[in-house]
């Protein structure tokens, strides 16, 4: 009997990463689900088969990455990895005028540098297994919105890195895909607005009055997204296609709002600004 192909999913404690890990497990893959807390790993195991194994992995910690690679290498041996889903990510919403630079560094460290470090570390196993790499981006990586400067910057960077890696690894036969969720029912909306409120609470009165209307619009958008976002299965299906299809796509824009946002890329800058500000008003 042939052993199940192995996949690594980062940021599998909740949200899209958790859904991807469980979906891949259901599809019969051996899944190493990256989590930072043992309790999150136990929760995942309770919902999965014995093919899923929690993997302690903090993408911003080089030592943790090295240990994770060693653990996976010992488990898969010469078969290597069939796939890596770079999903881990954080947000730091708020007006750039008042966003702490430490918060910006954290977002870039996790959402950009962390994905590079993890991919570099697992590439030998991916080469061995002729695997595929999926980067979890966002429509914010194609069109930036107010109060999302740090997050959008990280996703724009991730899109560029995926393009570069796709060209550099083409001769190795490794497939690189980017998944760009739009409005998807995920806990990230509530977390983002809570973080945004925390930043705005530290903003001086004159700054608060400058950004209150945008913040209120973003909050309304987040609430609509929570209620009306497409099911998580739409995203996991895109990830599964990228990892298994004979001809995987380079990009998968999924979720409500994806067509609108992609069209906005081609609008004149100031027209796009006005449309986005109206959208979030």
Q: In what order do the strands lie in the sheet with 6-9?
A: 52-56, 30-35, 6-9, 83-86, 132-136, 175-181, 251-254
Q: Is 48 in a helix, a strand, or coil?
A: coil
CA distance linking residue 199 with residue 220, whole number of Å: 18
DSSP 138: -
DSSP 171: G
> Is 151 among the residues known to form the active site?
yes
Q: Is 207 in a helix, a strand, or coil?
A: helix
Of the listed 98, 151, 211, 252, which one is catalytic? 151
Q: Is 74 in a helix, a strand, or coil?
A: helix
Roughly how many angstroms between the first and final C-alpha of the chain, as a whole number?
A: 58
**Residues in CB range of 157: below 8 A, 6 or more apart:** 108, 111, 112
Question: What distances in angstroms separate CA 60 from CA 107, 108, 202, 223, one per listed residue?
Answer: 10, 10, 27, 30
Catalytic machinery residues? 151
């Amino acid at each position: 009997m042939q052993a199940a192909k192995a996949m690594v999913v980062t940021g599998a404690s909740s949200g899209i990463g958790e859904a991807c890990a469980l979906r891949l497990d259901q599809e019969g893959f051996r899944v190493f689900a990256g989590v930072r807390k043992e309790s999150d790993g136990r929760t995942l195991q309770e919902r999965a088969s014995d093919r899923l194994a929690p993997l302690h992995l903090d993408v911003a910690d080089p030592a943790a990455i090295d240990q994770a690679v060693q653990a996976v290498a010992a488990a898969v041996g010469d078969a290597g990895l069939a796939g890596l889903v770079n999903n881990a990510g954080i947000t730091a919403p708020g007006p750039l005028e008042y966003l702490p630079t430490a918060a910006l560094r954290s977002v870039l460290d996790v959402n950009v540098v962390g994905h590079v470090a993890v991919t570099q570390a697992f590439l030998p196993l991916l080469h061995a297994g002729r695997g595929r790499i999926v980067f979890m981006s966002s429509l914010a990586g194609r069109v930036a919105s107010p109060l999302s400067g740090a997050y959008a910057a990280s996703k724009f960077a991730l899109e560029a890195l995926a393009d570069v890696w796709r060209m550099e690894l083409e001769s190795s036969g490794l497939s690189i895909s980017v998944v760009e969720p739009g409005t998807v029912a995920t806990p990230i909306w509530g977390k983002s607005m809570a973080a945004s409120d925390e930043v705005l609470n530290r903003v001086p009165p004159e700054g608060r009055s400058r950004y209150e209307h945008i913040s209120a619009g973003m909050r309304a958008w987040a609430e609509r997204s929570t209620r009306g976002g497409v099911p998580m299965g739409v995203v996991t299906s895109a990830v599964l296609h990228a990892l298994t299809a004979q001809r995987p796509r380079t990009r998968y824009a999924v979720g409500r709002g994806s067509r609108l946002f992609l069209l906005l890329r081609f609008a004149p800058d100031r027209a796009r600004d006005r449309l986005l500000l109206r959208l979030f008003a």
